[in-house]
Chain A
């Protein structure tokens, strides 16, 4: 679990330019890092070092393909729970232990835990929700999307 990054972990100006430039269109060529590094006038070794460092510091959570599993027959569903404060850590650990939980946020509301389930099949969602309810002893409320109006995964650093 981590909150806002501490100042010494913040990306420097070059990291920010990399983050802004690399949120898509990573080249599908034999030596993609070299191609990107050349565009940034840095060595391939420096680019790889910066990416590793940003991943290690959790400035980046991942570097690679972002899958839309619904296009491949799977499912994504937003779900929420009302977790008593005294039990929050236990329940967070139990919920996070499920590989189907792709991300999980604490939010300041009576429904204070919001997570996204990603499963290889649509049936996997109901099975996972049932298993989380058994593991935690708390009800899970599913908020499946009925319509998607807009999704933009890129954020300016």
Chain B
């Protein structure tokens, strides 16, 4: 995660801009002018505020959010691992650095049914590829890992992104 060097607090106008754009940018020639009209500020101010939110990490990026399935990633495996607490942070960074891991987090265990504390998302074209990649993760974790599992997604039930009330 990037370090926070810039004040990431939002004022009321930032929040209105967030509410106005969280569903998407207007698809018109001058989208920032359209937002400016909607919010009653200038287009320069819209651009300045978006840039500031990018700089401080409130906006991760601006662009296209693809549906994994539609671009061929039909095997979406949430791999979960029970890793020694003393080593999970060191190993989590290494797992996250693998080129095929798109998200990697430490999360609480839910004993006894859920012993896993390391989550690594692997998006692939098929389940064999996910299995091969998980084998690589298993090698990396070695004897620090006691057990693991993988949960494949079988349907996207919802994917709207966040919707903060305006």
Write out the residue numbers on chain A whose beta carbons fall within 8 Å of the beta carbon of B160.
61-62, 102-103
Q: In the complex the two chains form, is B155's CB within 8 Å of A106's CB?
A: yes
Distance, CA A62 to CA B8, complexed state (A): 24
**Contact indicator B158/A115 (Cβ below 8 Å):** yes
- List of A residues within 8 angstroms of B119 by Cβ: 78, 143
Interface residues of B (CB under 8 A from A): 1, 4, 8-10, 14, 18, 21-25, 27-33, 43, 47, 50-51, 53, 56-74, 76, 78, 89, 92-93, 95-97, 101-108, 110, 113-114, 119, 123, 149, 151-165
Interface residues of A in 37-57 (CB under 8 A from B): 44, 48, 51-52, 54-55, 57
Give A57 to B71 CA distance when docked, in angstroms.
Answer: 12
Nearest Cβ on chain B to A17's Cβ, whole angstroms: 11
Of A4, A16, A100, A153, the contact of B60 (CB 8 Å cutoff): A153
CB neighbours of B161 from chain A (8 A): 61-62, 66-67, 102-103, 118
Interface of B is mostly: mixed
Q: Is the CB of B67 within 8 A of A108?
A: no
B57 contacts A71, C-beta separation under 8 Å = yes
Q: Contacts of A54 on B, CB cut-off 8 Å?
A: 64
Partner of A68, one of B31, B47, B57: B57
Contact of A2 among B31, B92, B155 (CB under 8 A): B155
CB <8 Å contact, A34 and B158 = no
Q: Which residues of B contact A150 (CB under 8 A)?
A: 93, 95-97, 101, 103-104
